[in-house]
Amino acid sequence: MRYLILSDIHSNLEALEKCLELAEGKFDETLCLGDLVGYGPDPNAVIERVRSLAKVIIRGNHDKACSGLSDAAEFNPLARLATEWTRQRLTPEHIGFLRSLPQGPLVFDGFQMVHGAPIDEDEYVLGPGQALPALRNLTTQAVFFGHTHYQGGFLLTPKGRFQSIRCQGKPDGLTYELAFEEDGRYLINPGSVGQPRDGDWRAAFCHLQYGPASGRVLSHSIRPAGDAEENAGRGPSRCAHPAAGTRPINPRRFLQRNNIEKLPASKLD
């Protein structure tokens, strides 16, 4: 089975459509790791698109906050404003849909899906402090997670060595390809469709090819081709921040201005 794995779309319809265009014909099923909404200008349209497309969707912290399942008190100021903006625009049906999304981790076809960490859906898996305990306690070979908006992940080799998976950009858009070793254990983050925070502003997603006959899994992550500046407009190009309206903005400047990258993990949201 060939899966398209999406995460952290954050109401960015433009970036979502670009990913779907690039992935066309290369997947059988779509899975979503949460945060459909929050930040971007098209929450209802993104929900409709993902709902009609994805076989499994789990909830993210923004899905909870924007549908009123949790409050946004712990969010940074930008995320809080975006949550309020989104709440006012979501249709009642879509609020109900977000509230109905299952909590991760969810085991699907031999691997797990979770928004944050396997032990806590809202925890950020940013480094060995969170990744090592998760890897040592995995009940499946792989966990696909989001929440950090960083494409890449972590693994335990068959010999028990811990490694980070860092995706290196290439001009053709294919950034990383990974063949899973049978006795390896993997935490894979497909990156964020709608608001990357890993220094590459191109929308990110992941393909997973799962071959039970061979007992091997092949995963590769792709970002749209082109240089980062050109593709900036395809990523978090618009924002639902009330002060910014829906004007196209430069996401690099936007994020610097709001110091999102400098915030501690607990304030990433």
| Residue nearer to Fe ion on the CB measure, 102 or 212 | 102
Q: How far apart are CA 249 and CA 187, in angstroms?
A: 33
Per-residue contact string for residues 205-244; x = within reach of Fe ion by CB under 5 A: ----------------------------------------
Q: How far apart are CA 105 and CA 91, in angstroms?
A: 27
Burial 49-72 (b: 16+ CB within 10 A, else e): bbeebbebbbbbbbbbbbbeebeb
Q: What is the largest distance, in Å, between two alpha-carbon atoms of the chain?
A: 53
Rounded to the nearest whole angstrom, what is the least distance from the CB of residue 141 to Fe ion in the complex? Answer: 25
Angle at 173 between CA 3 and CA 111, to 5 degrees: 25
Stretch of residues binding Fe ion (CB under 5 A), selected from 4-12, 167-175, 209-217, 222-230: 4-12
Rounded to the nearest whole angstrom, what is the least distance from the CB of residue 147 to Fe ion in the complex? Answer: 6
| Residue nearer to Fe ion on the CB measure, 14 or 35 | 35
How many positions of this chain bind Fe ion (CB under 5 A)?
2
145 strand-pairing partners: 114
Q: How far apart are CA 237 and CA 28, in angstroms?
A: 29
Rounded to the nearest whole angstrom, what is the least distance from the CB of residue 161 to Fe ion in the complex? Answer: 30
| Residue nearer to Fe ion on the CB measure, 84 or 181 | 84
| Residue nearer to Fe ion on the CB measure, 8 or 200 | 8
Residue with tokens 């990357």: 196
Residue 35 binds to Fe ion (criterion: CB under 5 A):
yes
Residue 121 binds to Fe ion (criterion: CB under 5 A):
no
Residue 123 binds to Fe ion (criterion: CB under 5 A):
no
Residue with tokens 């992935």: 23
**Are 15 and 5 in contact, with CB atoms under 8 Å apart?**
no
Using the rule CB under 5 A, which residue among 8, 14, 123, 200 binds Fe ion? 8
Stretch of residues binding Fe ion (CB under 5 A), selected from 2-10, 12-20, 71-79, 131-139: 2-10
3-state helix, strand and coil shares in percent for the chain, rounded to the nearest 5: 30, 25, 50
Residues 38-57 that bind Fe ion (CB under 5 A): none
Stretch of residues binding Fe ion (CB under 5 A), selected from 29-37, 71-79, 106-114, 258-266: 29-37
- Point out which residues bind Fe ion (CB under 5 A): 8, 35
